[in-house]
């Protein structure tokens, strides 16, 4: 579907919906209806978690409800002519699309916040109003019929060419076709154009030597040796036979050598281009903000960097070679055939329109189908990336069957999409084969007639027959190439979606290097929200002097972790500013900021590698002596040397093989070695036993000396020594002061301390 500036915007795609849902919609809609809106929800109208889907065409709105395993049920079928207005309402925890018809309100679709943020539900009211205006219906006050969120009050970007909403990246999905994607992919060939030029020259030579010349030599063998003119003697015929055979042998050997070199160059070129593309994708992933990862599944991103770039590699290595060879071969054969017998050559081209038309029609269908196939495959990868690392949780909750069912559902959808692609291929290739067969029949009949009438020699007919099989071969190859281009375009679109994503937190163009800091920190009226609706931080202001330890406390969800994330600039404040040593952190380069901040998390993350490599992660150039010194300061040295390989002990994925306390002490050693000016401790001792906590606590006391420290602690007793305590509740600072001051204040902090003391006494009993 396409859109112009005079047409309504498009939201979603029907092809994105499950197979059963598409089939049900197809049974309801007519061929004349143009689908403009297709969105999915995760709730029914009663607020229960069940899949629902809404389609809007240029004639009506249709809503279905159900799940992936049973036939969806029709909930609403509403002609657009009956619609007075459509309203989007946001409630706590969910939202609602409501339609006004003849003065009566009717609920269309209920959705959770997750569905709202991951789909384009917010755009439905505006698009439906535009459809109605396009159809000549009167729309009064349409700007007031929806809540104006437009993705959290952010300005919706539109394509200058077609007016369509650009929902992600910088490219319009309606204006973007496979040629644009592949042209952009070929841009990665630019630095290696000379290799491509040499490979092209070799392709010209090898096509001529290996494909065009041998049939011409065969023609001479038939006309001058096998069926010679009467004046030719046997000795002359034998001499010519030797010459032609030796020529074929020489051509074959020389062509093989050139072809081997060309193939190697193309493989090098393909591998190099994908190396650059994969590197760019990974580098860009590292630059993207945490908010990007909050919205994406790990498995899908892994699939794009590995599987999709692999498909692009195969296209460059095999597809481009095939394209060059086929185009050159077709051009050369056409020239030879038309010079030899232009009438018969023209007849040979009769099946070409069928081949070209079939390629165009089926190519468009295959692009949509294969786009869905790869999307389903990415979904399978996402499930694997979730469940394999979390297999312990799956087994602990006896959820194997549920995860198997979830995987099977995704796998069945992939199977259905793959079978739809198989059906298209099953229809497509026999049609192409029949066109090839028809061409052979034409050449045999007309060529045979010309031989009988003396207008053509047997050698010329054999030349035509040889070229015919080679001629339709490249045509078939070009149709297969179109199939490969569709797959490559789908893969390129997914990879470039990463490269087109805009980091929400990035350096300014004029950002400066943050010099070595003392550690003064100031928050000025900082406001931040994850969803642009509820503020996680609401007007936070405080000052911390260099070297002070600040304890952060408050109920769960009060905003403690969000606050420390703001210091490292994992997220940017919506309002207000954060200053370090008087520098606004938005004005300095993030690397220079984060190089001077150390973080010890509640659940430390260790990478696969040696213990020494994990400790030195923040300072890869550190000597082994510095690594050991940091480990000793973190009370980690004793257990490390207890391993047979000591500091060369390999750590499994995510720290497998180490206890929670051991991983925590290694992460503290990592922070000590980095020697940051600002230290962030996020529940660093909450998940370990008492003895291990004492070791970690003593290590932390050495770590915080002379540093500005922000500490979130599960056990409030660990915050007693803090220079200042900041107590948060519902995103606001409700108390500030020392431990003693807050106890005397008899506020939230004292209630939390008393509650924890009571719980400790109950555990002791």
Alpha helices, DSSP H only, in 658-705? Answer: 660-674, 690-703
Are the beta carbons of 43 and 93 closer than 8 angstroms? Answer: no
In a shared domain, residues 30 and 150: yes
Cβ of 746: how many Cβ atoms within 10 Å? 10
What is the span of the domain harbouring residue 64? 11-172
Question: Which candidate, 61, 50, 57, places its Cα nearest to that of 106?
Answer: 61
Same domain, 587 and 733: yes
Encoding tokens for residue 675? 């020697």
**CATH number of the CATH domain containing 533:** 3.40.50.300
Confidence band (pLDDT; 50, 70, 90) for 230? Answer: low
Residue 509, classed as helix, strand or coil, is: coil
Residue 446 lies in a domain: yes
631-644 pLDDT, tens digit per residue, is 888 888 888 888 88
Residue 342 has pLDDT above 80, yes or no: yes
Among the listed residues 320, 172, 307, 325, the one whose alpha carbon sits nearest the alpha carbon of residue 258? 325
What is the reported pTM? 0.54
Q: Is residue 495 part of a domain?
A: yes
Degrees to nearest 5, angle at CA 399 with 415 and 389: 80
Task: Report how many domains make up the chain.
Answer: 3
Q: Note whether residue 293 is domain-resident.
A: yes
Q: Is 632 helix (H, G, I), strand (E, B) or coil?
A: helix
What's the order of all strands across the beta sheet hosting 85-90?
A: 85-90, 94-101, 104-112
Element (H, E) at 550: strand 549-553
Residues 445 and 380 in one domain: yes
Residues 49 and 137 occupy one common structural domain: yes
Give the CATH number for residue 244. 1.20.1560.10
pLDDT for residue 579? 92
Query: Is 402 part of any domain?
Result: yes
Backbone angles phi, psi at 163, to 5 degrees: 80, 5
pLDDT per position as a tens digit, 616-665: 888 888 888 888 888 888 888 888 888 888 888 888 666 667 877 788 88
Dist. CA 318–CA 488, nearest whole Å: 12
- Of the residues 151, 172, 193, which one is the last residue of a structural domain? 172
pLDDT at 154 over 70: no
Give the span between the Cα atoms of 9 and 163, in whole angstroms: 7
337 domain residue, yes or no: yes
pLDDT in tens, 401-422: 888 888 888 888 888 878 888 8
Percent of the chain with pLDDT over 90: 2
Which domain-ending residue is among 126, 143, 172? 172
- Please determine, for residue 395, whether its predicted confidence score (pLDDT) is greater than 80: no
- Please, which residues have CB within 8 angstroms of residue 506's CB and are 6 or more apart in sequence? 287, 289, 590
What is the average pLDDT value for the chain, to the nearest integer?
76
Q: How confident is the model at residue 168 (pLDDT cuts 50, 70, 90)?
A: very low
Residue 637 domain-assigned (yes or no) = no
């Amino acid at each position: 579907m396409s859109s112009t500036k005079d047409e309504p915007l498009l939201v979603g795609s029907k092809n994105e919906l499950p197979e059963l849902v598409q089939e049900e919609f197809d049974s309801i809609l007519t061929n004349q209806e143009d689908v403009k809106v297709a969105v999915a929800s995760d709730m029914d109208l009663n607020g229960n978690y069940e899949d629902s889907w809404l389609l809007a065409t240029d004639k009506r709105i249709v809503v279905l409800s159900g799940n992936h395993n049973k036939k969806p049920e029709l909930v609403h079928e509403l002609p657009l002519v009956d619609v007075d207005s459509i309203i989007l309402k946001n409630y706590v925890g969910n939202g609602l699309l409501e339609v006004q018809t003849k003065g009566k309100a009717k609920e269309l679709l209920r959705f959770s916040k997750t569905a709202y943020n991951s789909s384009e539900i917010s755009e439905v009211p505006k698009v439906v109003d535009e459809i109605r205006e396009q159809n000549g219906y009167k729309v009064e006050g349409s700007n007031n019929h929806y809540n104006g969120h437009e993705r959290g009050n952010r300005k919706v970007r539109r394509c200058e060419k077609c007016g369509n909403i650009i929902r992600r990246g910088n490219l319009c999905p309606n204006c973007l076709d496979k040629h644009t994607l592949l042209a952009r992919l070929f841009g990665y060939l630019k630095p290696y154009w000379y290799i491509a030029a040499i490979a092209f020259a070799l392709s010209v030579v090898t096509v001529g030597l290996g494909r065009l010349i041998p049939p011409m030599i065969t023609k001479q063998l038939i006309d001058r040796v096998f069926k010679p003119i009467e004046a030719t003697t046997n000795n002359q015929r034998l001499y010519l036979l030797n010459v032609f055979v030796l020529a074929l042998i020489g051509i074959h050997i020389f062509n093989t050598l050139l072809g081997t070199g060309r193939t190697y160059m193309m493989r090098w070129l393909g591998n190099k281009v994908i190396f650059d593309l994969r590197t760019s994708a990974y580098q860009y992933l590292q630059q993207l903000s945490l908010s990007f990862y909050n919205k994406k599944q790990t498995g899908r991103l892994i699939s794009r960097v590995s599987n999709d770039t692999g498909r692009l590699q195969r296209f460059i290595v095999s597809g481009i070679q095939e394209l060059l060879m086929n185009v050159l071969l077709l051009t050369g054969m056409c020239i030879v055939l038309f010079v030899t017998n232009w009438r018969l050559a023209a007849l040979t081209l009769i099946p070409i329109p069928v081949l070209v038309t079939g390629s165009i029609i089926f190519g468009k269908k295959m692009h949509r189908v294969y786009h869905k196939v790869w999307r389903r495959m990415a979904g399978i990868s996402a499930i694997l990336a979730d469940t394999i690392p979390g297999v312990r949780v799956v087994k602990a909750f006896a959820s194997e069957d549920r995860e198997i069912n979830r995987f099977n559902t995704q796998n069945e959808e992939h199977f259905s999409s793959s079978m739809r692609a198989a059906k298209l291929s099953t229809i497509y290739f026999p049609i192409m084969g029949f066109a090839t067969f028809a061409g052979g029949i034409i050449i045999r009949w007309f060529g045979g007639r010309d031989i009988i009438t003396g207008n053509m020699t047997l050698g010329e007919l054999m030349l035509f027959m040889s070229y015919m099989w080679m001629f339709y071969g490249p045509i078939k190859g070009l149709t297969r190439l179109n199939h490969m281009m569709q797959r490559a375009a789908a893969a390129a679109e997914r990879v470039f979606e990463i490269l087109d994503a805009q980091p929400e937190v990035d350096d300014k163009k004029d950002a400066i290097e943050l010099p070595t800091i003392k550690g003064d920190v100031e928050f000025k009226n900082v406001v931040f929200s994850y969803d642009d609706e509820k503020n996680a931080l609401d007007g936070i202001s405080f000052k911390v002097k260099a070297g002070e330890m600040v304890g952060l406390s408050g109920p769960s969800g009060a905003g403690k972790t969000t606050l420390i994330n703001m210091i490292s600039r994992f997220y940017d404040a919506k309002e207000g500013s954060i200053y370090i040593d008087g520098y606004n952190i938005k004005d300095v380069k993030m690397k220079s900021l984060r190089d001077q901040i150390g973080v010890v998390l509640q659940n430390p993350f260790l990478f696969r590698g040696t213990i020494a490599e994990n400790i030195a992660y923040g300072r890869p150039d550190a000597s082994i002596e510095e690594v050991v010194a940091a480990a000793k300061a973190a009370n980690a040295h004793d257990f490390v040397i207890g391993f047979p390989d000591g500091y060369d002990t390999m750590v499994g994925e995510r720290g497998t093989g180490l206890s929670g306390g051991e991983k925590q002490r290694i992460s503290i050693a990592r922070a000590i070695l980095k020697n940051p000016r600002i230290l962030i401790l996020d529940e660093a001792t909450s998940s370990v036993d008492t003895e291990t906590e004492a070791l970690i606590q003593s290590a932390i006391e050495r770590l915080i000396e002379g540093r500005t420290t922000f500490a979130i602690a599960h056990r409030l007793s660990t915050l007693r020594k803090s220079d200042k305590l900041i107590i948060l509740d519902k995103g606001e600072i409700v108390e500030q002061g020392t431990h003693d001051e807050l106890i005397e204040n008899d506020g939230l902090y004292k209630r939390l301390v008393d509650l924890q003391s009571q719980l400790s006494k109950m555990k002791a009993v």
